[in-house]
Amino acid sequence: METQALTPKDRIILPLDVSDVQKATELVNLLSGHVGLFKTGLEFIWSQIVNLLLLSDEEAIALLKQVRVLAKAIGAPHTFIDGKLCDIPNTVKGASAAISRLGVKMFNVHASAGIEAIKAAVADRGASQVLGVTVLTSIDAEECVSIFGAQPSEKVLKFVEKIWLAGADGVICSPQEISVIRSQSDFCSLLLVTPGVRPEWAAAGDQKRVMTPGEAIKAGADYLVIGRPITKPPAEIGGPVEAAKRIAVEIAAALAERRQ
């Protein structure tokens, strides 16, 4: 997948992990010139659905207008819908067809749904890119064995093979699995989108399999999902804009080193 045209800041995906539309809008207005994509996930999506159903008619109409303003501020080409579709193929197909109508840049499906479900998402992706989720970055080796019966590196490769065979555009994986995926020639065309990225100056939080932005890019990542280090950086870093700029500089240096 061609990514040479991406600038360092284009490779940063900021998750809008908030339940409040106003807070999400503030983040978008503040950072739209400093990150490439905004990821709307389950917290944000479900918060708005519930509010639209429970608020009064007047309040729901006002909220809907706010959501539409936010969507316009982000823009479909800069939107990643993080719904982690995981269901029978027919259900995934219907959900994918609905999402693709928005013309968003990316949406995802969990590889554990099986290859036919991934194929269903691919078939109805429209102009969007489909990413396959492998093993969540909050899951450590012991829990991975408990859930999937294998170590993360082994299970991720099996998931990636299904994602590749299904014709998806890319993979979401921990930084720790980037190198092993990139070592497989069959998977060279896949985009690698990597959560669990934390600069040296940021706390790891609930992520277990982490790496710095520079390390992840040098290993072969295309996009980095970075939230709290940007939205809530340490005081000595400054605000979100300063944090995003610092990360973009680190990405630029890593890209230069990767190309040598």
- Is pLDDT of 249 > 70? yes
Q: What is the set of active-site residues? A: 84
Crossing angle for the helix pair 57-74 and 42-54, to the nearest 10 degrees: 150
42-58 pLDDT, tens digit each: 999 999 999 999 999 99
Q: Which residue has the tokens 């807070």?
A: 23
Assigned token pair, 160: 């990636």
Residue with more model confidence, 153 or 218: 218
CA–CA distance, 57 with 60 (Å, rounded to integer): 5
CA–CA distance, 112 with 110 (Å, rounded to integer): 5
CA–CA distance, 105 with 222 (Å, rounded to integer): 14
Q: Between 3.20.20.70, 1.10.1740.10, 3.40.50.150, 3.30.1390.20, what CATH number should domain 9-259 receive?
A: 3.20.20.70
Going by C-alpha positions, the residue among 65, 43, 40, 41 that lies closest to residue 52 is: 65
164-220 pLDDT, tens digit each: 999 999 999 988 899 999 999 999 999 999 998 999 987 655 555 578 999 999 999
In the chain, where the domains are located: 9-259
Burial level of 102, CB count in 10 A (0-12/13-18/19+)?
middle
- Return mean pLDDT, the chain: 94
**Rounded to two decimals, what is the model's pTM?**
0.94
- Is pLDDT of 260 > 80? no
81-127 pLDDT, tens digit each: 999 999 999 999 999 999 999 999 999 999 999 999 999 999 999 99
